[in-house]
Structure formats: C-alpha cells, structure tokens
Structure 1
Amino acid sequence: MHSSAVFLIEFGAIILGLGLLGRLAGRLQFSPIPLYLLAGLAFGEGGLLPLGTSEEFVAIGAEIGVILLLLMLGLEYTATDLVSNLKTQYPAGLVDAALNALPGAAMALLLGWGPVAAVVLAGVTWISSSGVIAKVLGDLERLGNRETPVILSILVLEDLSMAVYLPIITALLAGTSLAAGSATLAIALGVAGLVLFVAVRYGRVISRFVSSDDPEKLLLAVLGLTLLVAGIAQQLQVSAAVGAFLVGIALSGEAAEGAHNLLSPLRDLFAAVFFVFFGLHTDPASIPPVILPAMALAVVTACTKIATGYWAAKRAGISVKGRWRAGGTLVARGEFSIVIAGLAVTAGIEPSLGPLATAYVLILVILGPLTARWTEPLATALTRRRSASADSATGSAVPASGGPQESAKEQDSTGRP
C-alpha cells in the first residue's frame, strides 16, 4: 500500500510538472521538449530528487510515447505517398548516411577507440530522432507543409536502415560468426519488407477491420493493433517505431481520421513521458569530462543534417525557405542513438563512449527544436542582408540606369521565393 501511494505521488507530480512546463513553453512560444528533458535530468540518477517506484512505469510509458508519435505521423500519409516518396528520396538517404555517419566514425578514430567503436559512433551521429521530430512538426503545425514529406522520407529511410545496421552492429559487438550475423540480417530485412508490403497492399482491408462508429471500439482496435505490430517488429530485430509508422500508413479514410482525433491526447501525454525518461537515464556528473568532444561533434553534425535536409528539399523542388526548414528540423538525435550507444556500453567496448553519446544526444535533442524553429528565419535574414549589401555595392559601381537590372539578377541568384 505504501509503495502504491508513493508511485501515485511521484507519477502525479511528474504529470503535473509536465503540464506546468508545457504552459510555460507555450507562453514563451517554443517547443516544450528541452524543458521536459531538463526535468528528467533533475529527477534522474545523480539529479536533485531521484525517483524510486515510478521509474519502471515511466520506461514503459516512454516506449508507448515513441510508438504513438510514429503512428500519428503515419496517419498523415497514404501508402501510395510513402512508396512514391521512398522511390524518389533514396538518394537523399545515401547522402544523409554519408554526411552524418562519417563525422562520428572520424571522432572515434581520432580518440583512439578502434574500428568497432567507430562503427557504433557513426550510427549515433547518423540517425535523427523520429520521436523528437514528430513532436516538433506537430508543435510548429508543419505537418501539412510541402517539405514535410521529404523529412518523413528521410526518417523512414533511416529507420528502415536500422533493420540492416542493428543486426550488423550486434554481431560486431558480440564477435559472432558471419553466418549468424547474416541470418539475423535476413530475418530483419524480411520482416520489414513484409510489414511494408502488407501496409501498401492490404491497407483498405485493415482500415475496414478496425473501423467502427463507436469511439471506444475504434480506440481499442487501433491502439491494440499498433502495439501488437510494434512488439512483433521489435522482437524480430526491426524497429518498433517502423512497425507503428507502417500501421499508420495502412489506415485510411474514416478509420484514420477517427484514430487521429482519439489518439492525439494520448500521444501528447506519452510523448512528454518519453522525453522525461530520456533525461532520467542521464547522470549529470558523466557529462563534463566529455562535453568538449560532444559539443564539437554536435556542431559538425548539426551542420551536416541541415545540409542534408536542404539538398533533399531542393531536389524535390521545395522553395528556399522550405529547404532551410527541412534541414533545421532534422538536427535532433534521440532514441536510436541512445539504443546504439547502449549496445556498445553493455558489450564493454569503450567506457567513455556511453557518456559521450549521452552528452551529444542531450545537446542535439535540446538544440533540435530550436534549429527547427529558427534556421529558416535566420537564413532568410542573412540572405536579405547579403542581398542588400550586394545591391548597395552594385549601385555605387554602375550608372543608375543599370541598378534595377543588377538588383533583379542578384535577387535571382539568392533563390528567394
């Protein structure tokens, strides 16, 4: 009875605190994610007031939060949209892997950690946080923007790539044979392909199966199906997030619309719990020794993610402002990076890798919502200032009759919409 009362007090205090932080963020007009993370740091190991009985429940809630975030993203798009975007955006996935994995590998080698640690840190810096980005897109009301399908395509390509990467890294860390690693990889790829095929081919059948005029029945059917598919996918070495996203893709029509309305409050609740959980598992004392390399890596890979999003959106014909928004939105790292680093820590590869990865992710998971909001306005302001300076210099060097023509040329070269 006593432990039950303590659990209710702790968890109630967490939810109440998140509500107050969310209101504060709303008044300040920025994403509440950084405040949720700082709250997790305060209540986690080494924090001001560590939690006791409610931590296990928070961990389960965090998993549900990521699943619901990706399910809701999937509900925004049809299976046809997904397939067409993946076909057109796979070069962006290759550019994304090259630009963002190489800095992590280079840092590990510079620190003398060896090739296996280099492969691990490459994964940490490569994968953006689907959970954080999904939350940011919703907070900033950008789900209907033209650049959002490009962002989602890159995220899906990254998540699907994890079906290949995670079995490989697990085999490297465990030192297993090539045959065992190949079998795990084949199973993961097969499951991911099967789930995608079912979502695309039988989406209407699934929608009819879960559809109901009764909100209670619809909620139970959609939530149960999502958790079931996510659990099976994770058990078979595929990301639970990928499974949840594909369930959302499979649902359409009235089923998708009804599920979206019913699940939005649950998504917001469990998503907030996810970000608190991330902070709970970060010991503040482990961050100072690795803060400098983590900050350097964060700056470099924030720039490479912005470049990735800009290039991908440009290739899709998005305006300049949309390109900057796409790049800034992709900066955040999160759940996958921590999972990858956790595998290496468990295997005992390099003691400093875990704290470095944690500090790196913490920096970018706080910076990510800020770059998503401010990259485009800052880039636009700098472009205007540069254009004005160029116009002024041109006007002083040519006759007045040539001014308008030169100004128009300069405006075209900036590519402003």
Structure 2
Amino acid sequence: MNELENTATAASHHLYPLISDLGLILMTAGVAILLFKKIKQPLVLGYLIAGFLAGPYFTLFPSVKDVQNVEVWAEIGVIILLFSLGLEFSFKKLMKVGGTASITAMVQIFSMVFLGYWCGQLMGWSSMDSIFLGVILSISSTTIILRAFDELGVKGQKFAGIVFGALIVEDIVAILMMVLLSTIAVSQQFSGMELFESVLKLLFFLILWFVGGIFFIPTLLKKAKNLLSDETLLIVSLALCLMMVILATMAGFSPALGAFIMGSIIAETTKAERIEHLVKPVKDLFGAVFFVSVGMLINPSTLAEYAVPVIVITLLTVFGKTLSSTVGTLISGQPLKQSVQTGMSLAQIGEFSFIIATLGMTLGVTSNFLYPIVVAVSAISTFTTPFMIKLSIPVANMLERRLPKKWTKAIDSYSSSSQTIKATSNWVLFLRSSIIQIIIYSVIIIAIILLSSRVVLPLVNGFQWANVAVAVLTLLFISPFLWALSFRKVAPTAYEELKKERKFLGPIKIVNIIRILFTLFFIGLLLNSFFSNFIAFTALVIFAVAYMVFPKRLQTLYDRIENRFMQNLNDRENTEASKSKRELSPWDAHMTTFEISAESNIVGKPLHQLELREKIGINIAAIKRGNITINVPNRNEQIYPNDILYIIGTDRQVEKFKTYLQQSFVAVPENNAETVLKNFELKNEDFIGKTIRESQLREKTDGLVVGIEREGRRMMNPESHVVLEKDDIIWIVGDKKKMNSITLNAS
C-alpha cells in the first residue's frame, strides 16, 4: 500500500510541472493572441513575446519550471507544423511551378547562403555558425507573407503568384538543406562526396516514399471511406504522419522531413482538405507551444551584447533578400516593376528559420547566441514586411525614372523576349521522359531488392530453398517494372515523330539499349544478392529468355499498376473538377431580376413573339406580378408594366438583354423561394434513353431544361427531342419543391 501511495505521490509531483507549465504557456499565448489580433500584427510575434514573458529571463511573471518538457512539446510542434505545411504543399504544385519562381528562389537562396556565411566569417563566428546563418537567412516566411498579402489585398496580382511559387521552391530546398546540414554537423567536415551521397540518398527516399505513398495511401482512404468519421480520420492521418516520422528517423533523416513527406502525400488525396481542417486545431495548439518555446530562449542580456550583429544581420536580410530576389526575377524574364515587388515581398525570415536554428541547437553545433539573434531578426523583419510591400511600387517607379534609359530599355527587351513561348523539341521531350522513367523505375526496383535481401531473407534463412523462393518472389514483384524500364514507350507522340527523321534513329537506339542494360543489371543484382556468381549468371540467361516470352502479360500487369497510381495521383483534381461542374452553373449562367417599366418596348407582347431565347439565349424562369408568381411561363404569356422577370443567362446574355430593353433597371441576383436553378447528374434508369419530351421533366418539375453537359460538351437550351444519357448533368429551372421531389441521381 505504501509503495502504491509513494508511486502516486511521485507521479503527481512529476505531472504537476508539466500541467502548470503547459497552462502557463497557453495562458500567455492566449493573451498575446488577443492583443496582437487587436493591433493587427502577426500572431507569431505574439507567441514570441509570450514565450519571453513565460521564460526564465523575465522574472516579473511566473516562469516555466521544466524546460525539458517544453522542448518535447516543441519537437511535437515542429512535426505537426511540417505535416500541415506538407498538406498545403503537394509535389504536383512543385512540378507546376514555373521557371520564373524557380529561378527567383534559387538565385535568392544561393545569394543569401553566401552572404550569410560571409557575414558570419567577418564577425569572427565559427564555420558552423556561419553556415547555419546563411541557410537561415535564405528561407522567407510563408506565414508572414500570406498574412501581409491578405491585409493589403494583393493576392490576385501577378507578382503574388511569383512569390507563392518561390515560397514552394524555398520550402522543399529548406528540407534538402536540413538534411545536408545534419550530414555536415555529424561529419564535421565539408566532404563533397558525402554531400553528394546525402543528396542521392534523399532523392532515393523521396521518390520511393512518394511513389509508394501515392499508390497505397489514397487507396486505403478510399476503401475505408465509410468508416472514416472526423475522429477516426484525424487519428489515422496523425498515425500516418508519425509512421513516416519513424521511417525517416530510421533512414537517418530528421523527423520533420518524414512529417513533411507524409503531408505532401496526403495532399494528393481527396481527403486532403478535410484532414487539413481536422488537423488545424492540433497544429494551432502545438504550433503555439513551439513558437512560445522559441520566445523562451530570448535573453535580453545576449541581445544587448550582440546588438550590433542583430542590426547588421537585419539590414543584410532586408536589403540582401530584396536585391537578390529582384535580380533573380529579372533574370527569369519579368519586368522591372514585378521584379521589385517580388523582391521586396520576400525580405524576411520566419518559421523555417526557427526550425533550422533549432536543428543546430539539437545537434549541438551552433553557439548559444545564434538562436536569440535569429528570433530578433525575424521579429524586426516581420514588422517591416507590410511596409516593404507597400513601398515596392514607389520604389519601382523611382528606379524607372532614375535608371539610365539604356538599362530600362534593355530590361524591357529582355523581358519581352524571355516571355515568348518556346516549344520543346521532340528529342528533348523524349530524352527527358526516358531519364525520368529510368530514375523512377530504378528506385522502385532497388528498393524491392534491398527489402527482400535485407529484411525478408533473414526471416526465412533457416528454411530449405529459402534463397530460391525469395529470389523468385522478388523477381515476380519487380518484373512489371523491369518490363516498363526496358520496353515501355515514353512520350509516344514525340517518339513517333523522331522515328521519321533518320538523324534521330541512332540516338533512339542508344537510349533503348541503355534501358535494356539497366534491366539486365538489376536482374543480375537481384540474383547476385541470393546466389553465387556462376548460378546468378546461369539464372540470368534463363530469366532473360522467359522475360522475353511473356511481354504481353507483363505489360497488362504494369498497365494496371500504372493506372492505379495515376488514378490516385489525379483523384483530387478530378474530384474537384467534377464538384465544380455540379456546384457552379455552367456557362456562368445565373438568375437575375429585371423590373419592366411601362415605357418598355416589350410590354404587351407575348413571349413567343419576343423570341428572347432564340435571339439572346436567355430563359425566363418566372414572372412576378404583384403577389402572383408565374413559374416557367408558357409561350403565350404577355408582359405587363411593373412585371419582375426572373432571367437565367450568362453575363454577356444579360448585357444583351439590358440593351434590348432600352431602359434603366436594377439587376439583382436573387434566389427565389419558389423558382430555382438546379442541376442533377442523371443516374436514374427511368429517364436514361428517353427524350426530354418523353421524360416529362417539364411537367414533373413545373420547369424547363435550360442546359445539358455531356462529356465536357455543353448544350444550351436543348431541343425537346434530345435523348438523355447516363451521367448527363442536367440543368433545370423550376419549382423548388417539385424539383426536390424527383430523383434523377439514383434509381
């Protein structure tokens, strides 16, 4: 009994600081949020100040008792932050980032890494401190820029698109640099070969995790969709995140990388937005703890001691990033004004800088003064960011006036020529596709061989014929990819065009031979992993012959695998496109009201005489006459003074009708309580194969079929003899209650 009481007492003493520290952190963070929202400043700054107030260097308020516990919470915060960032990232976004954003980001990153390292060396810092400073200064803050763009209302401008693209590139480069910094920190030397190996290792695992994740995870989520409540989906998504964190750690990478990768994989699924919404409260909680923990490390005495470095690094950040980003954007072929706007928007550091600085402290390779300096520079540059964005246009105008005319003309000429669309040659397209195919299939094949030889084989090593069984199974698994590597056509259109030109026949044969040699090499690698050289060579010949005999079966199997992968990869985009077709009115059609004056030229005329549908393309959904509403009026209905017409049409058609009326009116979009415009996806067998007249949709809905969308083609105002087909999207205007009572979506 005494032992139990002692255990309970010890547990309570251990638990108390954890709860009290977390409570103190959240209370100070809550006050900071309210205050900084009131004064319209970034919340990150509020968290930093809250951390300083709760930290050990500010004694007027209660301080955190157990810093180690807070550090654990902060590490979890980094993982959740990177997972959320991955959910917003998506590798497909990176592939769609244009050359402008990529060039801008790379010029800025290389420039700031060099300037940061050079600045650290001039101030007498160690090499590791200088390297980390350069990397820290090279990454801009997505959070701060998004907030500033929202407040200034510039998100729709062209330069904002360049900035967002540059931020995507910076995020993935930051992940890469974290891996390289970890390698440098462990080896304590700058071996080019080790860095090259680290890059290859990172690329290998990135391709493997992404391809494997896209193939399995969307399928898992779709199969279990009926079981995934909000609670279950949140737990499953966080479990997947932590699983990838474990895999990344086992592979020798940082936990943050694993979280980011899993987030980017889930970003390609149809559940991405829902998961992002569910994870947001968790991210906000742990993100607040992380930023507060950063603020706890602010030491006023250290900042006073290093006031000069803080000022120097701040000036270097603001002006160095502005100049390097502007130059990078100019090099990419953008005009001077947009280049200056882009450069002045990227002039700050933020959340990734904290994560990289935390990495240096965790590895024990950076000095204690670097972290508070980074926090101070981030705080100052956060305040300057909105002002820099506001001043970008005046600065650009001033440069256009002050720069020599030769310079401005040269910039305009270069920009015009750079933005000319250049067609990619068939040979470049074929060669690039072949290289990508070789890399991806090589990664998959090597991964399966390593998994079999190092994991599966040791598990069954004691059984007779274990080597043969595992080797055969492994070959079966990799055979579709071996076939694709050696025989699958890449860029078929470009390939057929190249075959017509004799000068490309030789290079094409060389590329195809290289692919076959890679295939033979991997078969030999597999067999050599399980057998002696002689047996491996003999088996290689046998397998090569068998491999040539069954190409169609291998092709069929590979096509199934590829189709599943491409379906999962494009599922989110296809779903969103389909959803937009159902939720948005086609042809930009919408319902608008017109009040007809007594002087109008259409007063007293019946609808069939006006021919509004034939001449202008609009449909009259209803006529409101005093307290009476005539839904879908017939062709003999006349127009009277002060009638309110409910018109369905596009913006262009509405403008034509406005001109036709030759009168002033107020057009107001309205959702009539009785008459509505609604769409249905036709699934009901009772309507499929019938004409619009035979379906009696007009009678059943007291309405009118105003449009049909079929396989991407749109039919406006279809005739009554048009036959309805399965999966047609039918747009009907009619009585709301009657339309709700019919079922077109299911039988």
What CA distance in whole angstroms lies between the structure 2 residues aligned with 1:205 and 1:319?
Answer: 47
Match for residue 24 of structure 2 among 5, 13, 19: 13
Match of 2:83 among 71, 76, 94: 71
Q: Secondary structure at the match of 2:271?
A: helix
Contact persistence 1:210–1:221 (CA under 8 A): no
Q: Does 1:338 align with 2:350?
A: no
Aligned to 2:112: 100
Corresponding residue of 2:178: 162
Offset at residue 343 of structure 1 (A): 6.2
Secondary structure, aligned partner of 1:30? coil
Q: Quick one: which of 261, 273, 298 aligns to 1:246?
A: 261
Q: Is the 8 A contact 2:54 2:64 kept in 1?
A: no
Kindly state the Cα deviation for residue 163 of structure 1 after the two structures are TM-superposed. Answer: 2.0
Among 130, 146, 151, the residue aligned to 1:137: 146
Q: Deviations over 1:167-198 (max 9, x none)?
A: 023312xx698887776665445334433444
2:467 counterpart residue number: none
Instruction: Please state how far the C-alpha of 1:20 moved relative to its aligned partner.
Output: 1.9
1:48-85, Cα deviation, whole Å (9 max, x unpaired): 24644453333233223233333333323443222333
Alpha-carbon spacing, 1:264–1:14, altered in 2? closer, same or farther (3 Å): same
User: How far off its partner does 1:387 sit?
Assistant: 9.0
1:9 corresponds to which letter in structure 2? S
Counterpart residue identity of residue 214, structure 1: S
Which one has the bigger strand percentage?
A: 2
TM-score when normalising by structure 2: 0.45
- Equivalent residue number for residue 360 of structure 1: 373
Using the alignment, how far apart are the partners of 2:194 and 2:258 within structure 1? 24
Q: Distance in 2 between matches of 1:140 and 1:24?
A: 21
C-alpha displacement of 1:238: 2.8
Q: 1:108 and 1:226 mapped to 2: Cα distance?
A: 36
Asked if the contact 2:329/2:342 (under 8 Å) is kept, the reply is no
1:375 aligns with 2:388: yes
1:228 and 2:228 equivalent?
no
The SS at the match of 2:41 is: coil
Distance in 2 separating the partners of 1:73 and 1:294:
28
CA-CA distance at 1:361 after TM superposition: 0.7
Tell me: CA distance 1:121–1:74, structure 2 relative to 1, closer, same or farther (3 Å).
Answer: closer
Q: 1:233 to 1:253 in 2, by over 3 A?
A: closer
Work out which of the two has the higher radius of gyration on C-alpha atoms and give 1 or 2: 2
Counterparts of 1:112 and 1:369 in 2: how far apart (Å)?
27
Structure 2 counterpart of 1:28, one-letter code: I
Q: Which amino acid aligns with 1:109?
A: Q
More helix, by proportion: 1
Distance 1:12-1:190 versus aligned 2 partners, 3 A rule: same
The 8 Å contact of residues 100 and 329 in structure 2, kept in 1 or not, is answered as: no
- Equivalent residue number for residue 272 of structure 2: 256
Distance 1:249 1:319 in 2: 34
CA contact (8 A) 1:332 1:367 kept: no
- Counterpart check, 1:324 vs 2:341: yes
Whole-Å Cα distance in 1 between the matches of residues 97 and 315 of structure 2? 29
Equivalent residues in 2 for 1:151-190, closer than 5 Å? 151-172=167-188, 187-190=201-204
Q: Secondary structure at 1:331's aligned position in 2? A: coil
Q: Which one is further off, 271-280 or 188-197?
A: 188-197
Are the equivalent residues in 2 in contact too, given 1:68–1:244 (CA < 8 A)? yes
Check conservation: 1:230, 1:243, Cα contact below 8 A: yes
Is 2:274 the counterpart of 1:265?
no
Give the equivalent residue in structure 1 for 2:208. Answer: 194
Q: Which runs of structure 2 are paired with 1:17-56 in the superposition (5 Å)?
A: 17-48=28-59, 49=61, 51-56=63-68
Q: Secondary structure at the match of 2:56?
A: coil
- The offset of 1:32, in angstroms, is 1.6
Q: Is the 8 A contact 2:340 2:396 kept in 1?
A: no
**Please, which moves more after superposition, 226-235 or 288-297?**
226-235
User: In terms of mean alpha carbon deviation, does 300-309 or 28-37 score higher?
Assistant: 300-309
Does the aligned pair in 1 maintain the 2:108–2:328 contact within 8 Å? Answer: no
Moved more, 220-229 or 55-64: 55-64
Whether the 8 Å contact between 1:93 and 1:158 is mirrored in structure 2 is: no
Instruction: Provide closer, same or farther for how the CA distance between residues 139 and 67 of structure 1 changes in structure 2, counting only shifts above 3 A.
Output: farther
Alpha carbons 1:67, 1:240 under 8 Å: kept: yes
TM normalised by structure 1 equals 0.76
**1:267 match: secondary structure:** helix
Per mean C-alpha deviation after superposition, the further-off stretch among 238-247 and 293-302 is 238-247
For the 8 Å contact 1:133–1:332, the answer to whether it is kept is: no
Q: Partner of 2:368: helix, strand, or coil?
A: helix
Q: Equivalent of 2:97, from 80, 85, 90? A: 85
Q: In 1, distance between residues paired with 2:382 and 2:201?
A: 35
For residues 179 and 78 of structure 1, the distance between their equivalents in structure 2, rounded to whole angstroms, comes to 30
Alignment-mate amino acid for residue 345 of structure 2: G
1:357-376 deviation per Cα after TM superposition (whole angstroms, max 9, x unaligned): 22431123213433443321
Q: Distance in 1 between matches of 2:98 and 2:214?
A: 13
The 1:383–1:324 alpha-carbon spacing in structure 2 relative to 1, beyond 3 Å, is: closer
Deviations 1:249-300 (A, max 9, x none): 2223431121011111221121111111111233332222222023202211
- Structure number with the bigger relative contact order (C-alpha 8 A, sep ≥ 6) is 1
Q: Which residue is equivalent to 2:321? A: 305
1:283 corresponds to which residue?
299
Cα distance in 1, alignment partners of residues 187 and 239 from structure 2 = 32
Per-residue deviation, residues 78-111 of structure 1 (Å, max 9, x unmatched): 4322233387755444313321112222223223
Q: Percent identity?
A: 20
